[in-house]
Chain A
């Protein structure tokens, strides 16, 4: 009998990890609980213990490689000579997550790591044929073959993971990673990003609550139907369909707009509302940045998108640290492929249509509301006014931070949310 050792998922935002070392050689006997593997995840090295006693029979991922969580790393068999089919074992136990998001080790971005996806990443003919049959877009599938090539097995794994999605509407199922236990807390990411933007807040919240990160339609693994609506009200309806009990709803920027829309349509489904850098009316600068974002994303690389966004999203003080700036750029570049250009364009149209439509409706909101405002926010500078328009809303301003405040001041934002939810 063989036991699988896969790249763990240490926290719901962990998408990948690097194999730092295999302390034991292949063929070595290991006891249950002995350290067989050291991985690196979001800058922390973690020792991984053998899940069972036996022989380290086969190592699938060599030292130094970065792979998605769920990727099969090694197999441990009870004995050294029992029959073992490594490839068949991998087909059953290799369940890699989609491409990396959030800050990632430089090697994964610069070194052409096995999970890197670009428009040029090759797709094998068999993978292409299977994708066609299953209705999968091969460009969205992370490749694990040599050089990141998308193989038939990758498409199969992707299709299997897609079956775990949560259906919210006709033909639309969403990727909703969850963590923790307790009352539900729903996290709604901003324009052009996914739930990984809350990476630093999720562990804090998961200590007390059942955190559900929602990747909206068109983002990450979530369905991206061609003929569907991507307006703010529809995205709010998607979230409403996910909830089977009242939830704390936290939204950032476009996610805040979705949260407002949800709170107006179904106030009884919410326990509380947290709006991070919200807007009710997109000003000319925000619309211009969104427009540029869409254009650059469709015409240039993920790296170019990241470079465009840095000055709009982060404060001068944050950008002054060069190492931090470069890490952040790489993180943004890694997230960008999870929000493809067509999704950006559709979401941008949603923002334009929604902008200004709810100006007078905020007064109808009666939920316990926290508004988190960034003191140096170029894109949504009217957060305090939004807070002022919602009866009883509290406003917490994070000084010297810009629009991406959840990334720039993660502790302050996490603490503010936690305090707000605990008061309910």
Chain B
């Protein structure tokens, strides 16, 4: 049965299902237990994470498997990598991807490298849940879209859902994957509802989804920008332009086949990325189109991205910073002539 629930609840549901199905799954991070579990003080339930994604886990699975950590990303990330090496499947919550700088070494040099350096004899089934992007007026240090960084580190997988159903399926797949996966949660979508099936299911890592079909131009997005692209497709349809909208879902592995398929269909690609343009996913997709799809191109590949600038705190500027449907429409129009 399907219900309409927000992405936040879908993530919470996935965590419950994963922990139910596998006793090796543990959750750790700042405030994930939310200070709950103090039976002596009559506090059993707590909020659970900054947004409440881990709410209810403590009560259901106990403090052994749901662990609050000190405000030390380096500490709990190192602990999570170590736990993963011992055979557990830890889900570490990095509150904002902006904080990755203080815990990069366990990810970059340990989690990402150990399977490779031990000839396949070690594995790190770690999932890092982390919030990304602008949209909650969280200013320059809590609004970045740094997924391009983890996607660019060999040995790490990076996924980002655009809707509650995919959030649930991708998170379950990430937790059950034997490699470290960075699971990005677009802040702006956390309270947006969509249909989600009950029960346990996974969305395969590395598979994009064609979420709208058209013939004239392909709009490629991921996370929040899928919604931007869908809105742009609606605006274009008013003018009789029909757009394919491709949701990448996984940034690494990247579904090259799906990108080339939509390019082959329309010959025109606009990639929409919430991150700045340099060294980004949009540039990566554009390069793929030119490299492996050159003869399919019927127009230049256009990137619609944030500017090369920090995310502004001013609400007006923040809204102007993120790619808008209108900017996507303009880019598509420029390709169609």
Contact = CB atoms under 8 A, between A and B. Distances in A.
Interface of A: 57-58, 75, 84-89, 124-129, 144-146, 149, 151-153
Contacts of B239: 58, 86
B74 interface: no
Contacts of A75: 240
B214 to A, nearest CB: 9
B295 A126 contact: yes
Given A87-B216, A87-B336, A57 B240 contact: yes
Given A87-B216, A146-B334, A125 B240 contact: no
A126 B335 contact: no
A124 B241 CA distance: 20
Nearest to A58: B240
A85 B214 CA distance: 10
Interface in B225-243: 239-242
B240 A85 contact: yes
A87 B217 CA distance: 10
B298 A152 contact: yes
A4 to B, nearest CB: 13
Nearest to B293: A125
B218 to A, nearest CB: 13
Nearest to B217: A87
28 contacts: A57-B240, A58-B240, A75-B240, A85-B240, A85-B242, A86-B239, A87-B241, A87-B242, A87-B336, A88-B216, A124-B267, A124-B299, A125-B296, A125-B297, A125-B298, A126-B267, A126-B298, A128-B295, A129-B296, A144-B337, A145-B299, A146-B299, A149-B299, A151-B298, A151-B299, A151-B337, A152-B267, A152-B298
B242 A129 contact: no
- In the A-B complex, the 3 residue pairs with the smallest Cβ-Cβ separation, listed nearest first, are A86-B240, A129-B295, A87-B216
Given A145-B299, A149-B299, A151-B299, 17 more contacts: A84-B240, A85-B240, A86-B240, A87-B241, A87-B242, A87-B336, A89-B240, A124-B267, A125-B294, A126-B295, A129-B296, A146-B299, A146-B334, A146-B335, A146-B337, A152-B298, A153-B298
Contacts of A124: 267, 297-299
Contacts of A57: 240
A126 B297 contact: yes
A88 B242 contact: yes
Nearest to A86: B240
B211 to A, nearest CB: 19
Given A58-B239, A124-B267, A146-B337, A87 B215 contact: yes
A363 to B, nearest CB: 59
A125 B295 CA distance: 5
B293 to A, nearest CB: 9
Interface in B290-337: 294-299, 334-337
A108 to B, nearest CB: 17
Nearest to A26: B239
Interface in B270-298: 294-298
Interface in B149-202: none
B195 to A, nearest CB: 25
A126 B217 CA distance: 14
A146 B330 CA distance: 13
Contacts of B299: 124, 145-146, 149, 151
A85 B217 CA distance: 12
Contacts of B297: 124-126
A127 B298 CA distance: 7
Contacts of B242: 85, 87-88
Contacts of B335: 146
A89 to B, nearest CB: 6
Nearest to A2: B240
Contacts of B336: 87
Nearest to B263: A126
Residue from B298, B334, B335 with most neighbouring chain A CB atoms (10 Å): B298
Nearest to A57: B240
A89 B242 CA distance: 11
A87 B296 CA distance: 18
| Interface-central residue, B241, B242, B336, B337, by most chain A CB under 10 Å | B337
